[in-house]
Structure 1
Amino acid sequence: MIKKGIFYTSILLTVAFISSGFKPLFSPIDFGSNVDENEKLLYVFPSQKDIANFDIQIPFKGKYFIGYKDAIAHKESQGKYKKINTLGYLGKYQFGVSTLKSIGIHDSDAFLNNPKLQEKAFVTLLSKHKYDLRKYINDFEGEVIDGVKITESGILAAAHLGGSGSVKRFLNTRGERKCRDEYGTSVKTYLKEFGGFDTRRIKAVKNAKVQ
């Protein structure tokens, strides 16, 4: 009995010793009390420092905001920060020069070479559109128009594609106005593909500018 006790005790001590050598791979991010909610959205699992690591396939992105950004970026540029399309749209989220100016960015070259600035610009534009379309989000969310369930995230994505005006025209005409971009992609497509994501933490900001 004594030998068995020593044997089992040794096993338990060995397991405890080995386990103590392992640490959590990721620690919680402490944002503190003075960080803007939109600023928090720039950080993604697993690291708030390395924003170039967005191509990691995380199985639980799902309908969280990180999944939303990833899905739109893939649709726009395959997630490439330095992408310039044939119409001159720039970066991971394909911004036009005039849109950049509307949120306070006037140096397109600096924008193209600054991933962190591109992420801030994306969140800032969402804030601007959320303010511009706040009434439409309130009035139409949950309705089915032309076979598409209208959601806040879908409205914001469609505004990213074609501007707030195209989304308003689509909703005001109950889908009769098939607004499209220069490549033929419709507002309806973005309303459908990017519907149901969690964008609740995006603040609605009038004339939002990149800080």
Structure 2
Amino acid sequence: MKKNTLQFIVLSITIIGLIYVSVQTKPQFVSTQDNEMAFYSTKDMLLDYNLCREYNDSREENVKAYSPKLGKSLIAFKEALGFKESRGNYFIVNEFGYLGKYQFGLTTLQALGITDPTVFLKTPKLQEEAFYAFTARNKWILRHDIKRFAGKTINGVKVTESGILAAAHLGGAGSVKKWLRSYGAQGFSDAFGSSIKHYMKRFSGFDTSKIEANRKAQVKLKA
């Protein structure tokens, strides 16, 4: 009887031991994500945001370049003229000595109150001010011609205020007056072959109404 009892006790202990070992060595299926998330906090983070649909794919070939549409605004007029004159280069001097983005001559700069061409060439903001001042002067000189000819067609070109102002930038207000009043018979071309007619057509239809005609317009910034 004692022998059977002892065998039973030994067997019981053995079974309990096997169960314990089985439990301890059983694989624990806890995901890596769960372990990481245990230490993750969104405190103080900005979670309200939007992602532009075009940029969801990070591959470079799928990212579309953004180009603003300026239409026929005054800025579009100014930038288009600057690109035609110098490809938008503020720091260029051409072979005839014309300076900057809008290719100003020294005489014109002096009339606008700019006496130091070196500083002018190094100062983009000064060049932008010079563009507006010069265009305001031309608009005053040509104010009657703008009123008289805008909307008419001369030599196949529809005359507009912006076309007149661009042509004046090219050849001066006096040349534009001659072209308009002779109905295209008296033309002008610069040293590179650009003509009043070409500028009149190329820069037609921009909104230059915000430029106020001013006979004595000068640059406000100091050169």
TM bin, normalised by shorter chain, reads 0.7 to 0.9
Residue 59 in structure 1 maps to residue 68 in structure 2: yes
CA RMSD between the two structures: 1.7
By how many angstroms is 1:63 displaced?
0.5
Matched to 1:84, the amino acid is V
Aligned equivalent of 1:93: 102
Correspondence list, 1:169-188, <5 A = 169-188=178-197
Correspondent of 2:173 among 158, 164, 170? 164
The DSSP-based 3-state class of the residue aligned with 2:135 is helix
Residue 138 in structure 1 maps to residue 156 in structure 2: no
Correspondent of 2:213 among 184, 204, 207? 204
Aligned equivalent of 2:162: 153
Q: Distance in 2 between matches of 1:125 and 1:91?
A: 14
Aligned equivalent of 2:93: 84
Matched to 2:213, the amino acid is A
The DSSP-based 3-state class of the residue aligned with 2:172 is helix
Q: Distance in 1 between matches of 2:66 and 2:216?
A: 34
By how many angstroms is 1:141 displaced?
0.3
Aligned equivalent of 1:70: 79
Q: Distance in 2 between matches of 1:144 and 1:174?
A: 9
* Count of residue pairs the alignment pairs up: 162
Moved over 2 A (4+): 56-59
Correspondent of 1:126 among 116, 125, 135? 135
Larger radius of gyration: 2
Correspondence list, 1:99-114, <5 A = 99-114=108-123
Q: Distance in 1 between matches of 2:176 and 2:67?
A: 31
Q: Distance in 1 between matches of 2:129 and 2:198?
A: 25
Unaligned runs of 5+ in 2: 1-45, 51-64
By how many angstroms is 1:57 displaced?
7.2
Matched to 1:130, the amino acid is K
| TM superposition score normalised by structure 2 | 0.70
Unaligned runs of 5+ in 1: 1-16, 23-55
